[in-house]
Amino acid sequence: MTAPASQRGGNPTGPLLLDTHVWIWMMEGNEQRLGPRLIDRVESAGRRGEVLIHPMSVWEVGTLVRKGRLALARPAVDWVEEALGLPGIFLLGLSPRSALQGALLDSNRLTDPVDRMLVAAARLEGATLVTADDRILDFAEGGAVQVLAAR
């Protein structure tokens, strides 16, 4: 499978896979971190039913809450259920193929296993990964995955 070209600011079509921090920022109304153009793009994808959340992002939200690095106004379980219940948002499955492709990605360039899982899922789904993570954005420079910078 050939990975789509990277893009830092173009106009992606098709599904958007939100990195965990972008998902949190969207749900928490943290517009100053995202900007109105990015919010419009995500909302447009939502109207098309093409906003994807990876199961590892759900795990990451729980981990951040447990470690005290993320404070939510309600219990994490309720927050996740509400966030995944919004129209146009879909939770991806964790397929063996996606897990294996994530494991086989270059761990010298992309050290975080969750980042590798997100990149692999975006590639397999033909989705644009929306992230502010410089490591993922740098990794995408070679065309490894289509990205949209959340800045």
pLDDT number for residue 2: 29
Residues 81-133: tens digit of each pLDDT: 999 999 999 999 999 999 999 999 988 889 999 999 999 999 999 999 999 99
pLDDT number for residue 10: 44
What structural domains and CATH numbers belong to the chain?
16-149 (3.40.50.1010)
- pLDDT over 70 (residue 9): no
Task: Tell me the percentage of the chain whose pLDDT exceeds 90.
Answer: 79
CA gap 121, 53 in Å, rounded: 10
